[in-house]
Structure 1
Amino acid sequence: MATKEEYGAKDLAVLEGLDAVRKRPGMYIGTTDSQGLMHCLWEIIDNAVDEALAGFCDRIVVTLHTDGSITVADNGRGIPVDKEPKTGLSGVEVVLTKLHAGAKFGNASYNAVGGLHGVGSSVVNALSARLDVEVDRNGRTYRMEFHQGHPGVYTDADPEHPSPDSPFKKTRKRSPTELREVGKVSAKTTGTRIRYWLDPEIFNRTAVFSYQQLIDRVRQTSFLVPGLRIVVVDESIPETGDESVDDLREVDGESAVTADQETDGSVGSGEPATAGEDGEDESVQPDSAQPSDAEAPRHDHARVEEFLHTGGVVDFVDFLSKGDPVCDIWHIHGSDTYQEETQTVDANGDLHAQMVERNCDVDIALRWTNDYETTIRSFVNVVATPGGGTHVDGFLVALTRQVRKAVEANARRLKVNLKDSGTKVERDDVMTGLVAVVTVRIAEPQFQGQTKDVLGTAQVKPIAARLTDAQFGEMITGSKRGYKEQSSRVLEKIVGEMHARIQARRTKEVTRRKNALESASMPSKLSDCMPGNDDVAELFIVEGDSALGTAKAARNSGFQALLPIRGKILNVQKASVSQMLANKECGAIIQVVGAGSGATFDLSQARYNKIIMMTDADVDGAHIRILLLTLFYRYMRPLIEAGHVYAAVPPLHRIALTGKRKGEYIYTYSDDELATRLDQLRRDGIGFDDDIQRYKGLGEMDADQLADTTMDPRTRMLRRIRMEDAEQASGIFSLLMGDEVPPRKAFIVSNADDFDRSKIDT
């Protein structure tokens, strides 16, 4: 038995070809779970997209087969099929079996690509139980097959349904390549089709394919490569037509997209074509940007999603924007050159260091919305860089610098005290509500690892900064035509966010009840509850002083606090952040809740378990509730999302019973309920006083009545405010509380006949 000290050359393992990939797959795809599974698909798609970036491809079809395999087809130039001089192998075999091999290491075939490491296709091949490739070039179709990265020939019992379990004959070393001619196509037809079955021996059982990730990635790519049509076909959903979607071909010399369904709901809208309940496509075909029926025979699937965009990053920002826009979409674009030392291959195949001049194209679109969330997507060529990198750094540095200059130049109008060092605009203030897409296109970008999360090419940062400084500087100062009013709104928002941040920091200093009771900064009109009951504490926001007096006598001061407001508070949907903070009622509510506001809101610091809006059961009371909800939605949204906001439901009528039941009362909450209860009392022979009390407001109740009907947890009724769909809620708030009156009027008129009392809280 060998000891640890016995260590010689016989203990060394030499992994040849793609064996290293199968031994250490994590080095190439990150993980062998769902993330790695999806990464393999990105590698194949990116190779097709690189053909589009080079100007040789305008259609890509991704087909999900019922057996779990995936086909990616493009109408690019096709992988070279001639012999590579150094290895003597066909270009197809070199690309799919040799690591760090391809046309992306030179400068001739590709200038800006996503898959640049030259390991993508070969790695996917190594990690696949089977991979088939077909190439259309020179008027012919060529085919080759692989098993776990090794070339050979499969013998399928049914060629129409290939399987990785079919018999496979491995090609012997130094034997002729297995690339074979299997058909003919027109001379104009070129392209590549790769179908692969990932190896279950490599990927763990938790690896799950994500259809939504695929759709998001495809949509993203269609924005980044304007004019590129990408179709996703899911064959797991039955077809409803007679023709099959199998490849990208030319029919009678004319181009035909493989997905025969040519209706595209994504063109110009950012949304894919989707199927209706009966399987028929409900999207609308644009007047342009689509081929005619003669060019592409129609074929309906239950799920065929197609993407085509022509507006680039501007369309992308429009798609990503949520909430009301503060400005139009601003576009920064241009190019510059830089010097970089790189290793180049000479005629003998040797590497030498050489200083080369690179071109850097920068394309940035941005917009501010009336929200506090930040959305920044960054890309190098078409590769997403979720970790950012030098391109994003240069953009944000220049963006913050130009905003600060503009604020200083307009300090008097914006009411900013430049002498106060604490009022300096920070990057977080600038980024609040910002939606931006930052893209650069460069040759041979330097990423951090094969997964390409962060761009590391240092020379890109000053180029992105210079272009942003020059172009955004003109926009934010209003010196560029048409930007003066927009830049004014943007600066007001950013300054408002600065004040909100400062106010939030001050507010968080008084977050717990004990400290709050000892602090003189709490609103004097707050009638707080006793400390120590945080898990059940309730804050009643009460309309009017008269109701406050009754509520004080009706409440349980152990856990119920009262904060009165005077009538209708500020409509914060129309107001800026600074206007909201300047409003006494809004400021008092935020201060009393004690968890901050906007992006700094911290739900764990909220001083009450329930926030209850207690207003009169009339139109004015409903309006006040809407105004309060708008404040909570805009600046304290987690309260609604976590279910901590409620509306009290006070009664409208009180029925006094007579006879044997004298001294008993029945409360009703609507006119219909009143009529129904009165009819029931008459049928049951129960007497009641005809002088039925109609409450016009909370102040008309005495303390016992208010406690029994509205405040006592044992007998009251509360309506919880829920927000199950934030985007839909945002749209409704914008519609009902925003600046535009005509859409609100149209909404009221169109829904007047669809009244449902059960949907309102009175």
Structure 2
Amino acid sequence: MQKSNYTNESITALKGADRVRKRPSVIFGSDGLEGCQHSFFEILSNAIDEARQGFGNEITVIRHFNNVITVIDRARGIPVDFNKKEQRYNWELIFTELYAGGKYENNTADIYEYSLGLNGLGLCATQYSSEFMEAIIHRDGFEYRLNFEKGEIAENGFVKEPKKYRHTGSIIKWRPDLDVFKEIDIPIDFFTSTLKKQSIVNPGVKFVFRDEPTDVVHEYLYENGIKDYVEEISLGKNLSSILYFEDSGMGQDRDDMPKYKVKAQVALTFNNEVNCLEYFHNSSFLEHGGSPDKAVKNALVYELDKFIKQESKYVKNEKKISFIDIQDSLIIVTNSFSTVTSYENQTKKAITNKFIQEFLTDMIRKNLEIFFIENKEDAIKIVDQILVNKRSREKAETTRLNLKKTLGNKIDVTNRVKKFVDCRSKDPNVKELYILEGDSALGATKLARNSDFQALMPIRGKILNCLKADYDKIFQSDIIIDLVKVFGCGVEIKTRHNKELDTFNLDNLKWDKIIICTDADVDGFQIRTLVLTMIFRLVPTLIETGKIYIAESPLFEITTSDQKTYFAYNEREKNQIVQQLKKKYTIQRSKGLGENDPDMMWQTTMNPETRKLIKVSPEDVLSTERMFELLLGDDLEGRKQFIEVNGEAYLEMLDLS
């Protein structure tokens, strides 16, 4: 094995564009799509910094064919001419030097004190990582045109011409390089989401997005910023008025560190149907929050817990609320700015400033306290809902643990499901489970079934209506627990307060088909509906993936004088068969599954070649449930009206003989 030499000459330094092109994740956080998206945001950030200081109130982003992007602003234009101080052209500094920019010096501090980009990395790094970049800049009575290829200035890449125009600004057009990023096809959703967020935190600035491949144009403008946004999210269903406040201050992260300025805006409300937590800092959306997120959690838990105690809303020995109980009904957006910002990294998805956290915590606590004093009725409405969230969560957690314990045990000799009759096959791709009405049906189907692949599960009486019961009551039902155990795939629960109960995994389903088999009478139809309702509430994916069937059992057995037998599944079929018969016949109405002989049961209900199965769709469950409510529920007037309007259509199905 040849050994490599590690000498003084082994050490090399990346220079120029290679500093980004060979290590894009250092600057952009990733060499994949996320990093490519961040490179776009670096260009957008420069335009936003200008607009927020009053230089241009419209920013346009164009998504061209072949992943080419353009950002247009109407700001002052990037200074790119000769710099006497540095004895170089500014375009060299800005487009080809990392950590070069106009936001370092003290004389620009007031203008750029709340800037997104103070590190001088974005424009240069994006240029370095592009297949090409073209810049057109209008400034000082000139039009400047720059062209770069693969991070290097192109031949004749800098052109300066005098121009008469009425505006200043910059047009940056580029294509991210596949030699740098693994993926460069930024989806429309990213552009629209980013521009909408920026319009929210930059009131009065209009953002326009044009997508050339689809010819779609979006415009975003929030005159009142985050307050308008919270109102939009809440859809008019908020429990209280929208609380908006803003403040500014000065502080430091450590006693030995310099002080810096902070200003912040907060808009919040409470809503039982929608929740949202979003944080922005220096116009950058903080996906992971950091300091603002910690401030919101600390302040809200403290103030709401204090008010609950004041109003004696806790029951004896009850645990205090947690933030998750508040979050379920909270809409809050914070928009903060600071002259010194500590980001977790260059991607700016979280900030870590201790003073910003302390400032926001005090600001939110103070304003919430005043709001609760001045709006006590709203405050009580809010804490009552939060206590409902808390108690629902705690009940769901207890139910989840009990459910996990109950469903976690495998069905074996020591943990049998009462009266469940398994089949011999272990292959879930061929196995069928028949859900039967009562013990009598179990006896008949035991003799009729193919025990290689058909299993049987009788249910005792009518099960709980799962659309009307809460989960706590549902999971106290032995019949329902037994059915869920036999299915083997757990339960899927997506409601806000009961997500902890979700244990569903379709891969664990033990059956290719689940077949509901009940008598062809009113009681049988109602049991069928209740089983379907239970499946629809607890495991709807089984319906959506076509796993649930109904076995139609015949209503009539028609026997001719030469001993031929015909089966009719309703009055219409019976009348059609009788009209075609030329011989004498007898008609016997079905007495129920339990009284059918095995041969008839196999032929009509269980034989894959001759049985009649109906695949259930989600619409079937809802329409059937509504019909049973109408025909069997408490709405007498509704039932009367339905029969008056629709009864004629069912006359030929009536047994009037």
Aligning the two structures, in what range does the TM-score lie when normalised by the shorter sequence?
0.7 to 0.9
SS of equivalent to 1:196: strand
Compute the displacement of 1:489 (Å): 3.1
Match of 1:548 among 409, 413, 438: 438
Aligned: 1:658 with 2:560: yes
Deviations for 1:116-173, whole angstroms, at most 9, x for unmatched residues? 4321111111122321112233455333222333345xxxxxxxxxxxxxxx346xxx
Q: Which has the higher helix share?
A: 2
Match runs of 1:154-193 below 5 Å:
168-169=155-156, 178=158, 180-181=160-161, 183-186=163-166, 189-193=167-171
Compute the displacement of 1:411 (Å): 7.3
Aligned to 2:548: 646
Residues 542 and 548 in structure 2, CA contact (< 8 A), matched pair in contact too: no
* CA distance, structure 2, for counterparts of residue 384 and residue 711 of structure 1: 60
Match of 2:152 among 142, 150, 153: 150
* CA distance, structure 2, for counterparts of residue 634 and residue 304 of structure 1: 41
Residues 61 and 210 in structure 2, CA contact (< 8 A), matched pair in contact too: yes
Match of 1:399 among 296, 300, 320: 300
Change (3 A) 1:228 1:133: same
Compute the displacement of 1:195 (Å): 0.6
Deviations for 1:201-228, whole angstroms, at most 9, x for unmatched residues? 3334x54332332233233333343443
Change (3 A) 1:665 1:216: same
Compute the displacement of 1:424 (Å): 5.8
* CA distance, structure 1, for counterparts of residue 302 and residue 514 of structure 2: 41
Q: Please report the RMSD computed on the Cα atoms of aligned residues, expressed in angstroms.
A: 5.0
* CA distance, structure 2, for counterparts of residue 326 and residue 631 of structure 1: 32
User: Which amino acid in 2 is paired with 1:654?
Assistant: F
**Higher radius of gyration, 1 or 2:** 2
Aligned: 1:195 with 2:107: no
* CA distance, structure 2, for counterparts of residue 316 and residue 707 of structure 1: 63
Residues 361 and 440 in structure 1, CA contact (< 8 A), matched pair in contact too: yes
Match runs of 1:216-255 below 5 Å:
216-237=193-214
Change (3 A) 1:198 1:634: same
Aligned to 1:496: 392
Identity of aligned residues (%): 21
Match runs of 1:315-354 below 5 Å:
316=229, 327=239, 331=243, 333-340=245-252
Compute the displacement of 1:72 (Å): 0.8
SS of equivalent to 1:396: helix
* CA distance, structure 2, for counterparts of residue 618 and residue 139 of structure 1: 89
Compute the displacement of 1:587 (Å): 8.8
Residues 383 and 452 in structure 1, CA contact (< 8 A), matched pair in contact too: yes
Report the count of equivalent residues. Answer: 602
Change (3 A) 1:548 1:435: farther
SS of equivalent to 1:306: strand
Deviations for 1:514-549, whole angstroms, at most 9, x for unmatched residues? 4798679x9xxx65455998875877777xxxx434
Change (3 A) 1:611 1:22: same
User: Which amino acid in 2 is paired with 1:599?
Assistant: K
Match of 1:593 among 480, 484, 487: 484
Aligned to 1:34: 33
Residues 116 and 444 in structure 1, CA contact (< 8 A), matched pair in contact too: no
* CA distance, structure 2, for counterparts of residue 636 and residue 329 of structure 1: 38
Residues 477 and 484 in structure 1, CA contact (< 8 A), matched pair in contact too: no
Residues 411 and 418 in structure 1, CA contact (< 8 A), matched pair in contact too: no
Residues 557 and 565 in structure 2, CA contact (< 8 A), matched pair in contact too: no
User: Which amino acid in 2 is paired with 1:199?
Assistant: D
Match runs of 1:78-157 below 5 Å:
78-81=77-80, 83-105=82-104, 107-138=109-140, 140-152=142-154
Aligned to 1:358: 261
Moved more, 463-472 or 619-628: 619-628
Aligned to 2:188: 211
* CA distance, structure 1, for counterparts of residue 520 and residue 457 of structure 2: 21
Change (3 A) 1:327 1:6: closer
Aligned to 2:339: 443
SS of equivalent to 2:252: strand
Change (3 A) 1:638 1:6: closer
TM-score (ref. length: structure 1): 0.65
* CA distance, structure 2, for counterparts of residue 622 and residue 184 of structure 1: 83
SS of equivalent to 2:353: coil
SS of equivalent to 1:111: coil
Change (3 A) 1:61 1:207: closer
Change (3 A) 1:136 1:541: farther
SS of equivalent to 2:261: strand
Could you tell me which runs of 5 or more consecutive residues in structure 2 were left unpaired when the two chains were aligned: 631-637, 651-657
Match runs of 1:176-575 below 5 Å:
178=158, 180-181=160-161, 183-186=163-166, 189-204=167-182, 206-237=183-214, 302-310=215-223, 312-313=225-226, 316=229, 327=239, 331=243, 333-340=245-252, 355-365=258-268, 367-369=270-272, 376-402=277-303, 404-405=305-306, 416=315, 418=317, 425-432=321-328, 437-472=333-368, 479-514=375-410, 527-529=419-421, 536=428, 547-553=437-443, 559-564=455-460, 566=462, 569=465, 571-572=467-468
Deviations for 1:67-98, whole angstroms, at most 9, x for unmatched residues? 54211112233323565453244555432222
Compute the displacement of 1:484 (Å): 3.6
Residues 558 and 585 in structure 2, CA contact (< 8 A), matched pair in contact too: yes
Moved more, 395-404 or 118-127: 395-404
Deviations for 1:271-296, whole angstroms, at most 9, x for unmatched residues? xxxxxxxxxxxxxxxxxxxxxxxxxx
Residues 65 and 234 in structure 1, CA contact (< 8 A), matched pair in contact too: yes
Compute the displacement of 1:722 (Å): 5.6
Change (3 A) 1:354 1:409: closer
TM-score (ref. length: structure 2): 0.74
User: Which amino acid in 2 is paired with 1:196?
Assistant: W
Residues 326 and 369 in structure 1, CA contact (< 8 A), matched pair in contact too: yes
Deviations for 1:666-685, whole angstroms, at most 9, x for unmatched residues? 325xx7xx36x8547746x5
Residues 313 and 364 in structure 1, CA contact (< 8 A), matched pair in contact too: yes
* CA distance, structure 2, for counterparts of residue 199 and residue 384 of structure 1: 25
Moved more, 119-128 or 189-198: 189-198
Change (3 A) 1:692 1:703: closer
Change (3 A) 1:219 1:58: same
* CA distance, structure 1, for counterparts of residue 388 and residue 120 of structure 2: 49
Compute the displacement of 1:602 (Å): 1.4
Compute the displacement of 1:15 (Å): 4.4
Compute the displacement of 1:491 (Å): 2.6
Compute the displacement of 1:702 (Å): 5.2
Aligned to 2:635: none
Change (3 A) 1:486 1:26: closer
